[in-house]
Amino acid sequence: MRNRIFIIVLLLINYAIAQEKLLISENNDLRLFETYLSLNSGGNIFPTIYNEGLIYASNHENNNYKLLYSDLKSESQKIKIGSKYSLGAVTIFKNEIYFTGITRKLSTSGTNNFTIYKGIIEDFKVKKIKRLPVCSLNFSYTYPTISKDGSKMLVVTNERGRLHLLEFIRNKDNQWEKGEVVYISHPEFEIINPTFYNENTIYFASNTYEGEITGVVYTSDNEGNNKISEVIREQGSFNIYKIERNNLAWGIPIKQDMFNSDFDELGVVFINENSGYLNSFRYSNTDNIYYFELKE
């Protein structure tokens, strides 16, 4: 009897220790903590909140990225999604799941581009996968994210020659239509992992605005006057940016220093107004997923 009581007490103590948040970083704005994933695996990227845990991509102990679900307490479970999944974050609304894949049909120039697929997720398996018709075969679309009410979606696309954030709107027939352009990136810079904080606030990661100027491109007008048409910058680390909409117009992205370090920060996902998950390369020489709490 005494041995049984001792074992129960020991298990409770170990459970409490496992659940205790391990603080690893702190600044004036937030505290950053280890998660079950960061303590037990590496190469984890692009988290999406699902049920009481996360769906994320990982190449831990594998050369290729695969989709997994973690309840952040025990060993992760594989998401069965098939060969159409190619890269990056998935986004989920109710039982709808959207992800990036390669088009099966060729564009007019004879290429296969990235596109957005929709499926139905049930019991960690994705079924009824179809390409979104709103995505043209002639351009690429990646990193989908959906609003909390399911009415809007953001994607990263090259429709305008440069990568930009494009909004899709769900119409009354439950189909997606193109909305407004939220932000157009500078040439040669990337945009990854946009997420909705609310309908007027978006976070994303980018290596834009970083590095020294390495060159300038000039163009001449009809009168022979030279004007700067493009500034070429050295690429730097990925950082987290926030962009907000005021008076129906989107502003410029503002770097969020509280989330950033000298290493790549690949995305931020909010659970609520005060907490969420940060995808960072700053520890253990690998991408991983950490929990944060904002200070009041």
The DSSP bridge pattern shows strands 288-294 and 213-220 to be unpaired
d(CA 15, CA 10): 9
Tokens representing residue 119 in the block: 């499926």
- 163 pLDDT exceeds 70? yes
- 4 pLDDT exceeds 70? no
What is the pLDDT confidence band of residue 15, given thresholds at 50, 70 and 90?
A: very low
What pLDDT shows up at residue 69? 97
Does residue 10 sit within a domain? Answer: no
**282: CATH:** 2.120.10.30
Does residue 187 sit within a domain? Answer: yes
For residue 70, what are the domain limits? 32-209+237-294
What are the CB-based long-range contacts (under 8 Å, 24+) for 256-265?
Answer: 256/203, 258/27, 258/28, 258/29, 258/30, 258/294, 259/30, 259/292, 262/237, 263/237, 264/205, 264/237, 264/238, 265/205, 265/237, 265/238, 265/239, 265/240
Which run of H or E residues covers position 136?
A: none
Tokens representing residue 77 in the block: 């479970």
Does residue 56 sit within a domain? Answer: yes
Percentage of the chain modeled with pLDDT above 90:
70
Range in 9-23, 102-116, 250-264 the model is least confident about: 9-23
What is the pLDDT confidence band of residue 170, given thresholds at 50, 70 and 90?
A: very high
Does residue 101 sit within a domain? Answer: yes
Greatest distance between any 2 Cα atoms in the chain: 97
What pLDDT shows up at residue 62? 84
Range in 35-44, 154-163, 206-215 the model is least confident about: 206-215
Tokens representing residue 216 in the block: 């300038």
- For every residue of 210-247, DSSP letters joined together read -S-EEEEEEEE-TTS-EEEEEEEE-----EEEEEEEET
* Number of domain units in the chain: 1
Which run of H or E residues covers position 175?
A: none
What is the pLDDT confidence band of residue 234, given thresholds at 50, 70 and 90?
A: very low
What is the pTM assigned to this prediction? 0.83
Distances from the Cα of 139 to the Cαs of 84, 136, 148, 166, in angstroms? 17, 6, 27, 12
What pLDDT shows up at residue 217? 59
Does residue 51 sit within a domain? Answer: yes
What pLDDT shows up at residue 11? 39
What pLDDT shows up at residue 227? 56
- 220 pLDDT exceeds 80? no
d(CA 171, CA 102): 25
d(CA 97, CA 79): 12
Does residue 4 sit within a domain? Answer: no
Distance of CA 273 to the CA centre of its chain: 18
What are the CB-based long-range contacts (under 8 Å, 24+) for 129-135?
Answer: 129/82, 129/84, 131/101, 131/103, 131/104, 132/98, 132/168, 132/176, 133/175, 133/176, 134/168, 134/175, 134/176, 134/177, 134/178
Mean pLDDT in residue range 68-97: 94
Does residue 214 sit within a domain? Answer: no
Does residue 217 sit within a domain? Answer: no
SS3 276: strand
- 123 pLDDT exceeds 70? yes
CA atoms within 13 A on the CB side of 170: 11
For residue 183, give the amino acid letter.
Y
Q: What is the pLDDT of residues 183-203, one digit of tens each?
A: 988 766 889 999 999 999 999
Mean pLDDT in residue range 19-41: 91
Q: Is-contact 115 100, C-beta < 8 A?
A: yes
What pLDDT shows up at residue 208? 66
What is the pLDDT confidence band of residue 248, given thresholds at 50, 70 and 90?
A: confident
What is the pLDDT confidence band of residue 171, given thresholds at 50, 70 and 90?
A: very high
- 249 pLDDT exceeds 80? yes
What is the pLDDT confidence band of residue 5, given thresholds at 50, 70 and 90?
A: very low
